[in-house]
Structure 1
Amino acid sequence: MIKNLLRFFQKKIILFCLLIICLIIAALFFVRFSETKKQQKKLPKIDLSIKIKKTLEKAHVFFDAGKYDSAYFYFNKTQLLCDPKEDYADEYVGSLNYMVEILQRYGNFYEAETNLIKAFPYLEKTSSKKYAINAYTFMAFNYFYTYNNEKALYYHRKALKTAISTFRKARILSEIAFVYVQQKKFQEAKDILEPISKYKIVDKVTPSNTNIVRSGMLYNLALAYIGLGNHKEQALKCLDESLELTIPYNNDFELIANYFGYYLYYSKYYNPELKKFYAEQSYHAAKRAKSAGNEIDRLADLLEMDKAENAKKYWEIYTRKNDSLYLSRKTAKNQFADVIYDSKKDKEENFELKNQKAERELQLQRQKNRSYISYVVISLSLFVILFLIFYITTKGKREKNDIMLKSEMRISQKLHSELNSNIYETLLFIQDYNLEDKCNKEKLLNSLNSIYSKTRNISRENSKVLTDDRYVGALKEMISEYKTQNVNIILNGFDSIPWNKIDKNKKIILYRILQELLFYMKKSNSSSLVSIITKEIDKNLVIYYTDNSNEITSENSILEKRLQNVENRIETIKGTINFDANSESGFKISFKLPI
């Protein structure tokens, strides 16, 4: 009683100490955090709006002139000047969007995604929905270019939910339909584009975009019609209207797609001459637009369908262009990598404009706070770990000793109950009878042999059960020990069971159950025949045990104990047991356990 009280108070004291330590750490952390917040509030704010505006103007000038490396440098410089948590969220997100567009042109999709992720936390702080729409759209393009169409659709849909104007929604729906076309979901693309293509939706902010977007919408609808088939007239009508809207802009880059649409159309509805004609038109438009990638793709189309004499000519051009494109892209990529590197180096200069001295002091203070907290957390963690190790080790030893004591008591009781009378009778026999007599000597040997057999059985009942490949052999050997001249045991199905698939714990439980049943069978001394059948049914191991006992009835205490022990073991492995209480021909029981 006193020991239990001491243990209780010890546990309470330990918990109390841990609570006190946690409260002290929380108080110190709160004080440090408050000091850091005060220092942050004291930092003087610098008006960078003029600097940001001028840098952004330079970036737009270079972007409009097609000098993307310089544009990227100044867009990056702009976003470094901005502090989106406090102000300039529009300039910050807008600059990152332009940087992403440039990165995608150069095929640097990993860097593009990194920049978009930086913009996402500040989309709600921007003054216009267009920043969020552009960010989601660029992320969709990024996934589309990297062949992840499902992610592309996800971000297009986010852009669609964000969009307010009808024109922006129509443009996003057209882009969603284009992804469906690439997935060969032509019916879904058609269902999206047909309703909105019936109306001319105007861009009220930039009216010049109206016809370009409608041209792209009709082109995508034509691709859906071509993919579906049986829409010959509708597809041609869409292609004609799309081309008619594109021609006034005198934009060869847009014409590449228009002519390519005709090439696909006449490939679908077999017309070799027109197919070749529009393949050449698309190739020449790509050539005029100086779009090397499209030029090579169109050359590949011409090679696929042209005659041998022209194929050689196109093949020479194709090889030369392909090599040239590879070198130019490699050079551009290296130059652009230098621009990104130089832009990152410029970061230090921009931070100096944001009160470099105050920022460094704040960083040092933050580092001290992190170090202090780390030391406290590590110390507390070590203390808790040591306490847990000590507690678990002590508890484990105590439980192990309890288990050993219970096991020893059980074995002792069994030895006493089963061997006490035999040993006593044997000792009396030795005292009362002449052991020189051959008959008496034979009886003594039989008595000693009986004591040995019982001792060996008790030892086996408490010994380790093999669960490896030798399991079935050990199981059969255990069963055979209960076979005598008067008791015949029949086994069936043991060799057909996949024992290696059965859990070790379940094997041990099965071993002990059969041992339990056979022990009580032998103890009742009323059976002459035992049958044990094993089957695998629906991923379950089913065991049928039958003996022809004639002394065990439902009121018998031996039967109750026999069933209770088996039932307890079965429950531990979530098995089921079925006992035939109405059997007139002996004891019948079956149990099932999952494999």
Structure 2
Amino acid sequence: MLPILFSSCYKKEIKKEKTTENPFYDKAFAYRETKKPDGAFLYFNKAKDFFIQQNDSLGAGKCLVNMAIISADRGDYFGGQELSLNAIAYFNEKDQKQHVYIQSNYNNLGITSDNLKEYKQAITFYEKSKKYTVGNLGLLVVQNNIANAYKRLKNYPKALAIYKDILAKNISQTEYARTLTNLVYTEWLQNEQFNAAPPLLKALKIREQENDIKGLNYSYFALADYYTKKKPDSALYFAERMYQTAKEINNPGDQLQALQKLIKLSAPANSIRYFDRYQNLEDSLQTIRNAAKNQFALIRYESEKTKADNLKLQKENTEKKYELATREFLLLAGFITFISAAIIGAFWYRKRQENMKAEAQKAITESRLKTSKKVHDVVANGLYRVMTEIENELNLNKELILDKIENLYEKSRDISYEKPVSPDKPFNEIISALLSSFATENTKILIAGNDAELWLKVNEQSRYELEHVIQELMVNMQKHSKASNVALRFENINEQINIYYTDNGLGMPEDALLGNGLRNTGNRIEQIKGAITFDTKVQKGLKIQISFPVS
């Protein structure tokens, strides 16, 4: 795997140019030029909003491209990709003066796709960037990027053809050394018997003469790879040179790759030392990237929230003006028209206002209930489930728990959207995993009849609602029942699914049935045309029966 630095070169920043007077734009460039990306991102975002208010499409587009490049530089490739995609609509591809910004934007999309391992998509964006690139140097770099992407796809003939085409041109020594290294390294990847050492060393010598520090780093990488099997001592030497150079240019990504090679090639004692460095650097780099992602996301969230608040205020002011104008009109009409017409008009107006308010209040109430239901089912119960697993898991799998928390985070971000249900494993396994997560040393969970065949004809909506119903029952069981034995039995009788829940806990008082969680449970069962029955009169524990049609 090649270092990220060389897989996507030529990150061309958008230069500052005279545009609509915008104080935020000036501040953004001041922060960028003093190497303060967080401040630059914040003020580019403010400048973008200002340009949009002034109907300056080009200014807004340039701000988005700068924000996208900053995000990509800080390791937020998804964020950078999203911003660049948004920027496309703000540019006019027929205006040649805008081609420099369009080229930079498509190049950044190629870089983010490359780093996200979407190599085919990266090639598509690099080709579009090439279309708007001006100057031989820019074209050569974009060609190298395209060839590198083909190399990662293991389409070596295509990559080699591009490298050879570049070498046939009149290029600088620095560009020649870079392309020669790429060409020879690719030929060796295609055929490990190829003697790559002489041309790789030739490129290294040119880079030493040109004092091309970043290029030297890549030469060390390629030579370390080539010598790994043939001459491990030479491979170790070049890996050490790569590590020292990466530290010199402060490139943590290349440092990690150099450390990977040193761990593999060094003696056991040194390997442990290099492994500790690798782990510390990786943790530090990930912390920095996560902090940047969160900071950029927060900046964009606050901006969108402010715009939403302003729109709401504008709407309220418009409604007030409308009401005032309507009252004045009715007052004037009352003096002109007959008393009877005035009475009828006033009655109609009042009735209409009441209906509008009633409908609006109903819509607000329904929206709040729906959001409350989602927060309760998706976030609260999901978080409680993760807490239960953390509390009862002896051998805690940190990565698995972090994945689940990240999943909850993603769900909470999309809490107001209707997202399609798309499980990635059989539904009986989802139910088994859900129920098993509530099993503890003091509570046994018994499951019967939960076979894959049982759920074959049940549609996705019913599965989605049922999963949350069962989760709600298990959360209530663990919070309130103090049960030591819980049993769930599933069956299909005459195309109707029956679920029998039994526990030996404290039971459920009548007033508990009015809680938000169980009320949501009843609503979910109604949505799938089913029924739920609570037997609270048993001597001990609780019995529940859920029934719903298969389709």
Please report the TM-score for the alignment, with normalisation by the length of structure 2.
Answer: 0.48
TM-score, normalising length: structure 1:
0.45
